[in-house]
Each structure stands twice: as C-alpha cells, then as structure tokens.
Amino acid sequence: MREIFDSTVERLFSDLVTPDAVLASESGRWPTALWKAVEESGFTLALAPESSGGAGAGWSDVCGVLRLAGRFNLPLPLAEAILANWLLCRCGLAAVGGPISFAPRAELCVEGGRVSGRAFEVPWGRSVDAVVALLPGEAPQLVLLAREGAGLECGANIASEPRDVLIFDAVTPLAQAPLPAGLPGDVLKLGGAMLRSAQIAGALEGVLAMAITYAGERVQFGKPIGSFQAIQHQIAVLSEHAAASVLAAEAAFAESGETLARLPVAAARICSAEAAGVGAAVAHAVHGAIGFTHEHALHLSTRRLWSWRSEFGSLTDWSQQLGRAVCLGGAGSLWPAITDGRLAALEEPLQ
C-alpha cells in the first residue's frame, strides 16, 4: 500500500501544488480545486476502515504521504483530516468527507447536550466544514462540531497558514462519543505532534534537494560553490538532520496503530523540531541573498519549518515531558525504555 500511496501522491502534488498555488493560498484563498483533487484521491479517509468508505490503511502507510505534503508545502489540512477521521472512526463514529480539522486545545463545556466555549489553534479553522475536539473530564468525550455558525478569530502561523480560534455558543454536536480506552486525553496534541514530525521531515528533504541543486549551479570564484569544503560540510550536516527526522518520523508512525506510540512520537517531535532549526539555517546560508527574497521558493519551506516545529507542543514542551519522565524513572530505566520503545513514566502526561 505504501508504494502506491507515495507514488500517487507525489504525482498529484507535483502536478498541482506549485509554488504559485502555495502563495495564492498564503494570500488567503482556499484552494477549492486542489482540495477537490486531494479529497477525490481518497487520502483524507486513508485510515478510516473500508466499511466507512476509507482505505483501511495504517499509520505507517501514510507517513510518506505526509512527508510529501511537507515537501510540497501542501496548503490544505490533509494531515489534520487524516487524524480527525482516524479518531472519529476509533470512537465508533462515521468519517467525514469534506474539509475537516481538529482543535489540539479547547475550553468547552456542555449543558443540556449543547456545547459552548472556544477551540484554539485550529488549523484551517476558517475553511473547514467541521472540527473534532475533546470535552475534558474523567471520561473525555469526542465531539464533532460544525464550523458553520461558529464565531471566528483569525490567526496564522509564520507561513500564513490559518490557525484560528472557533467560538461555539450552545451548539449541538454533529456527533459525540466517549474516547475509547487506550487513547489518552491529549490524543489530539500527541497526534498533531506526530503529523508535524512527518511534515518537517518532508520539508527538510525538500530544502536539502534545493540546497544541493543550488550549490551545483551557483558559480563563485570560478567554480560551483558546492565544490567548496565549507559548503559541502554544511550541506552534509543538513542531510544528517534530514535523515534523522525522516527516520524518527517513520519510527513514530510505524509504532503507532490503534493507539499512538508516545515515546517514539516524543522522540520524533523533539528531533524534528531541532532538525527544522538547523536545516532552515543551513539552507538559507547556502542560498545566500537570493534565498532571502520572496521571489525564491525556499521560504515556502523554511517558514513552514519555523512554524511546524512549535505546533502541538514546542521543542521545550516535549523535551521537558520526556526529560521529567526519564528522571522519574532514574538512569536504570532509560536503556530498557529505549529498547522497549515505551517509557512508563511518560504514559501519564505530567502536568
């Protein structure tokens, strides 16, 4: 399944997700035709079971799709739709066909079956049909809320990708179900962190390719700048970090199934966030002044790297969670946790 997914999506994005299309989206236009093409490809329902119109794929099948979404700067909530639909189906609800997103953080309350409150940092909140959020409590409830009729406070990340606040006033959820056992109350943040680790890995693959190409073409002192050792070594470091983030993301997706593998996700989140900073810096150093212009496409990737690394928990947030859990377990529990892929003290998110 993986090979077909990757080749299909690469073809689709190569044809449609041009730098101009990305820029048009950054100026505020929802790319209707592009969304239609992506939705018709079926990938928004990739993880939904076949019985609800999905592809019945697993997380490792879509890691490549999300790396490509990152590499092409796809200006759509495809990653968000995949996670939202996976979670709906895990809760026994039907997947949703149109544009859908989720709220990693929300302050919602229920009264008489009606939901009120605010959902924060919703990717593409202004443009989607519906949003998945969690009602907190002893037994968290998943709710699907219609975008129509909700209040909106627009926000955006560095790359002008919408990150909005949606305000609900006594609305009846489109669907509601308790979160099944095995899924933690921060599943949306955890899942979001995993999605972004794959997108960052893809964006780093993209800037690495751009840096290699540019270093081979740009001539100074009579030869391509890529023939200078100083440039070679910087690009080598970029490739190391790109490789690290690819493998960290692949590990997180491969180890996730019915539940999300918290330790590998945390590792991927942390390594990709570090790699994003290093990678963007090297790519810009190699490209010189031309890479600093709006005309050059490099910033489409680097501004996303700078944004994605701090969404769904920053480097500091995830590092502290992991570090506290490691210290709580003591030195003796570190190595067994690494070989088991699981750290007991990390499983209960620490406040």
Partner 1 sequence: MSIEQFKYSRIPPEAEALRSEVRAFLAETLQDYPAVRRADSWMGFDADFSRRLAAEGWVGMALPKRYGGGDASPFARYVVCEELLAAGAPVSAHWFADRQSGPQILRYGTEAQRARHLPAICRGEQFFCIGMSEPNSGSDLASIKARARREGDKWVVNGQKVWTTNAHRSHYMIALLRTGENSKRQEGLSQFIIDLSLPGITVRPIRDLTGSEHFNEVFFDELVLDANALIGTEGQGWSQVTAELAFERSGPERFLSSIALLHTLIDAVGKSPDALQATEIGRFAARLITLRNMSLAVTAQLAVGHNPAWEASVVKDLGAVFEQEIPELAQLLTDLPPTSQGGCDHAQVLAYLTQMAPSFSLRGGTREILRGIIARGLGLR
Binding site for partner 1 (CB under 8 A): 205, 208, 212, 215-216, 226-227, 229, 231-233, 235-237, 239-240, 242-244, 246-248, 250-251, 254, 263-264, 266-271, 274, 315-316, 318-324, 326-328, 330-332, 334-335, 338-339
Q: Distance (Å, rounded) from C-alpha 115 to C-alpha 132? A: 12
- Cβ distance to partner 1 smaller for residue 80 or 205: 205
Q: How far is the CB of 93 from partner 1 (least distance, A)?
A: 31
- State CA 169 to chain mean position distance: 29
Q: How far is the CB of 130 from partner 1 (least distance, A)?
A: 33
Amino acid (1-letter code) at residue 203: A
Residue 31 in tokens: 């790319």
Q: How far is the CB of 280 from partner 1 (least distance, A)?
A: 17
- Cβ distance to partner 1 smaller for residue 2 or 116: 2
Residue 302 sits at the vertex; the CA angle it makes with 296 and 308, to the nearest 5 degrees, is 145
- Cβ distance to partner 1 smaller for residue 152 or 212: 212
- Cβ distance to partner 1 smaller for residue 190 or 248: 248
Q: How far is the CB of 191 from partner 1 (least distance, A)?
A: 18
Q: How far is the CB of 235 from partner 1 (least distance, A)?
A: 6
Strand pairing report for 130-135 and 114-123: unpaired
- Cβ distance to partner 1 smaller for residue 189 or 269: 269
- Cβ distance to partner 1 smaller for residue 83 or 263: 263
Residue 163 in tokens: 């990150």
Q: Distance (Å, rounded) from C-alpha 99 to C-alpha 43? A: 12
- Cβ distance to partner 1 smaller for residue 11 or 223: 223
Q: How far is the CB of 47 from partner 1 (least distance, A)?
A: 18
Q: What is the separation, in whole angstroms, between the first and last Cα of the chain?
A: 39
Q: Where are the beta strands (DSSP E) in the chain?
A: 100-102, 105-111, 114-123, 130-135, 141-146, 151-153, 163-171, 175-178, 219-220, 223-224
Q: How far is the CB of 76 from partner 1 (least distance, A)?
A: 25
Residue 115 in tokens: 């939901």
Q: Where are the beta strands (DSSP E) in 105-180?
A: 105-111, 114-123, 130-135, 141-146, 151-153, 163-171, 175-178
Q: How far is the CB of 43 from partner 1 (least distance, A)?
A: 21
Q: Percentage helix, strand, coil, to 5, in the chain?
A: 55, 15, 30
CA distances to 25, 81, 87, 167, 232 from 191, in Å? 25, 12, 10, 23, 36
Q: How far is the CB of 343 from partner 1 (least distance, A)?
A: 8
At 74, which helix (H) or strand (E)? none
Residue 135 in tokens: 């009602």
Dihedral angle sign, alpha carbons of residues 119, 104, 101, 132: negative
- State CA 28 to chain mean position distance: 20
Q: How far is the CB of 117 from partner 1 (least distance, A)?
A: 30
